Amino acid sequence: MAARLSLNDVNLHFGGVKVLQEVGFEVEPGSILGLVGPNGAGKTSLFNCISGHYQPSSGSITIDGTEAIRRSPAHLARLGLSRTFQHPALQLRATVLENVLLGGHIRLPGGPLEWALGLPRTARAEREIRAEALAMLDGAGLGWAAGLPADELSHGLHKGIELWRALLSRPSLLLLDEPAAGLSHGEVEQLITTVKQVRDERDITIIVVEHHMGLISALTDRVVVLDHGRKLMEGTAAEAQSDPRVIEAYIGKDAADDAA
């Protein structure tokens, strides 16, 4: 089931630095929300708060009504949350398949003791997850790369591995942090097709942070614009792109006045 995410009055302070201030919005189950804003606006920090990597100073973040603040990333993953990172976090010496399989670990039944004993139900689940990972790589035209060390692949393929790894956990809430960064035009088009397919075929809620406005326009139902840690506005991608406050945040007030 796709998750409903609610943020209320989220504040994140590091010492005296206010990284997020009074951020609040809702993400409807099954929708794609774009989170945009200039460099340093607080987008990745907000993802870190949702995924349990940062603890907000105050506020509330609920996933299907369950408070997510003060839960560990591992706990939130079990609640259905999965994410990719702005800078791909891969095991570069491990193979592409091994990297993708890390995402399936959460689906193994039982706990570490049972896994160590290699019980039949663990072995069966491992076979299923492995077959699904190989099918995903094949479907993406990456079957040839499954056995190669990840460090032999391009940056674009590293981004792909992160996405397949995140999907293998079968998340109900997926956070994508700049999935198009560093990709060629053709790779971005492929990414847009893939994410649309994921949305159509799976029951999933997605938040995507991106500077690539073409991708944001093509994929999102709504966007939230952050600036200096605050929510500047919320609406459709088209509304955001024509909003004077957003234009000013991106290019500065003087330039926005000149452009008017």
Ligand X SMILES: Nc1ncnc2c1ncn2[C@@H]1O[C@H](COP(=O)(O)OP(=O)(O)OP(=O)(O)O)[C@@H](O)[C@H]1O
Q: Which residues bind ligand X (CB under 6 A)?
A: 14, 17, 19, 37, 39-45, 86
CB of 152 to ligand X, least distance (A): 27
Residue 39 touches which member of Mg ion, ligand X, none, C-beta under 5-8 Å by kind? ligand X
**Contact mark string toward Mg ion, 72..101, x via CB under 5 A:** --------------x---------------
Task: Give the C-alpha separation, 122 to 110, whole Å.
Answer: 8
The distance from CA 75 to its chain's CA centroid, rounded to whole angstroms, is: 17
CB of 135 to ligand X, least distance (A): 33
The distance from CA 39 to its chain's CA centroid, rounded to whole angstroms, is: 17
CB of 244 to ligand X, least distance (A): 21
Which residue is listed with tokens 């408070």?
A: 67
Nearer to ligand X, 43 or 158 (CB): 43
CB of 124 to ligand X, least distance (A): 41
Residue 52 touches which member of ligand X, Mg ion, none, C-beta under 5-8 Å by kind? none
Could you please report the per-residue DSSP string of 151-180?
Answer: GGS-HHHHHHHHHHHHHHT--SEEEEESTT
Residue 171 touches which member of ligand X, Mg ion, none, C-beta under 5-8 Å by kind? none
Identity of the residue numbered 126: E
Q: Which of 21, 44, 99, 169 binds Mg ion (CB under 5 A)?
A: 44
Using CB under 5 A, list all residues that contact Mg ion: 43-44, 86
